[in-house]
Amino acid sequence: MTEEFIKGMIQWFKAGKNLPRRYAWEIILGACSHFVKEESLVNLDLQEGVTCDVIGDVHGQFYDLLNLYSLTGIPSENHCLLMNGDLVDRGSWSIEVILTAFAFKWLYPTRMFINRGNHEAKDMNRTYGFEGEAKHKHGEQTYKLFAHVFTTLPLATLVSATKAPTKTSTTMILSPEGLKRYFVVHGGLFSKDGVTLDDVRKIPRIGRQPGQDGLMSDLLWTDPQTLPGRGPSKRGVGIAFGPDVTKRWCTLNGVTSIIRSHEVRQDGYAVEHDGLCTTVFSAPNYVDQVGNKGAFIRIDAEGDQKYFQFEATPHPPMKPMAYAQGGLASLMM
């Protein structure tokens, strides 16, 4: 794998062509060879001069992804990308999105990181388009390969600063070493108190689907709520967690704040729970209907964050959910 190959592959995709199946399989397996070596909680320590861009849901919006990569830059020695789940489904270029991301993972395994989202799962892919798209473009065996490799994706990433913050407050939560660190996860926190980072690290994930409950399901499915405590989820899976739940968990684990995705935000991002929970969403004008901006978050070696917004990019005339069963489905999931 080379940068030149990836650039050529992107041009091939923009011309409306499918990658030869053999190449697709090599990219999927090449990325998988690195995912299986990672723990369910990946540690990413940002050394001086290194930055990390956290990218939220992309949902098969390939042309928006290309615009996004032009803003973030591709992975490099001094720059990491962390894609926080839901790369596929809904948008009708999910194959192009996932093969591009997997190619970067294969080429730059210590600079490209991908968390699993609730849409990297069989039941969601069956309903929201990725299964149909994968079979249409590359055949059933390719879809089955993707379905397995999705289970190898890590469930969360702990992004840690390595330089002490220049500005602190009495309310800021720092790691035991006095540094900022961020828990990046697709969905959110847990249906019970007391879960530790080590508990997340030890979750057995390979070969497993998220299910309806348990730690993996919580990580991929839960959402923040404004009220304290825990409440029922509007999705019918997982729970909603309040600002008090977030503060207790961050304090217990020495986490400065949580960065999660999983929900549209009109400005592309929203800082919630008294600054302890930030939602970032990177699919602008979601499913060609919502009119939202996309965003990404840049973190540096001191743990400082900057927010970048971007608008939707024109794309060829293909509707969202083109390969889904039953056409355009609910936006809720």
Question: Quick one: pLDDT band at residue 169, thresholds 50, 70, 90?
Answer: confident
Q: What is the pLDDT of residues 271-284, one digit of tens each?
A: 999 999 999 999 99
Closest CA to 235 of 330, 327, 326, 329: 330
Calculate the CA 193 to chain-centre distance. Answer: 24
Q: Where are the beta strands (DSSP E) in 134-234?
A: 156-161, 181-185, 223-224, 230-232
Which H or E run contains 124?
A: helix 122-128
Residue 326's pLDDT band (boundaries 50, 70, 90)?
low
Q: What integer best gives the mean pLDDT of the chain?
A: 96
**Contact criterion met (CB below 8 Å) for 233 and 333:** no
Report the SS3 class of residue 257. strand
The mean pLDDT value for 111-118 works out to 98
Q: What average pLDDT does range 168-178 have in this prediction?
A: 92
What pLDDT does 330 receive? 44
Neighbours of 91 (CB within 10 A): 32
- Contact status, residue 293 vs residue 267, Cβ threshold 8 Å: yes
| pTM for this predicted structure | 0.97
Higher pLDDT, 240 or 327: 240
Boundaries of every domain in the chain: 20-310
- For 211-236, give one letter per residue: b (16+ CB within 10 A) or e: eeeebbbbbbbbbbbeeeebeebebe
332 has pLDDT over 80: no
Active-site entry in 59, 119, 138, 186: 119
Residue-level length of the chain: 333
In this prediction, residue 333 carries a pLDDT of 59
- Residue 59: active-site member: no
Give the tens place of pLDDT for each residue, 5-60.
999 999 999 999 999 999 999 999 999 999 999 999 999 999 999 999 999 999 99
Cα→Cα distances 86→83, 202, 267, Å = 9, 22, 19
* Structure-token pair, residue 301: 């070696």
Phi and psi at residue 187, to the nearest 5°: -95, -80
Q: Give bridge partners of residue 260 from the DSSP assignment.
A: 279
Confidence (pLDDT) at 329: 45
Q: Are 179 and 301 in contact (CB under 8 A)?
A: no
The model's confidence at residue 168, banded by pLDDT at 50, 70 and 90, is confident
Q: Helices 94-107 & 130-138, crossing angle to 10 degrees? A: 80
* Percent of the chain topping pLDDT 70: 98
Q: What is the pLDDT of residue 331?
A: 45
Angle at 322 between CA 316 and CA 325, to 5 degrees: 175
Chosen CATH of 20-310 out of 3.60.21.10, 3.20.20.370, 1.10.620.20, 3.30.499.10: 3.60.21.10
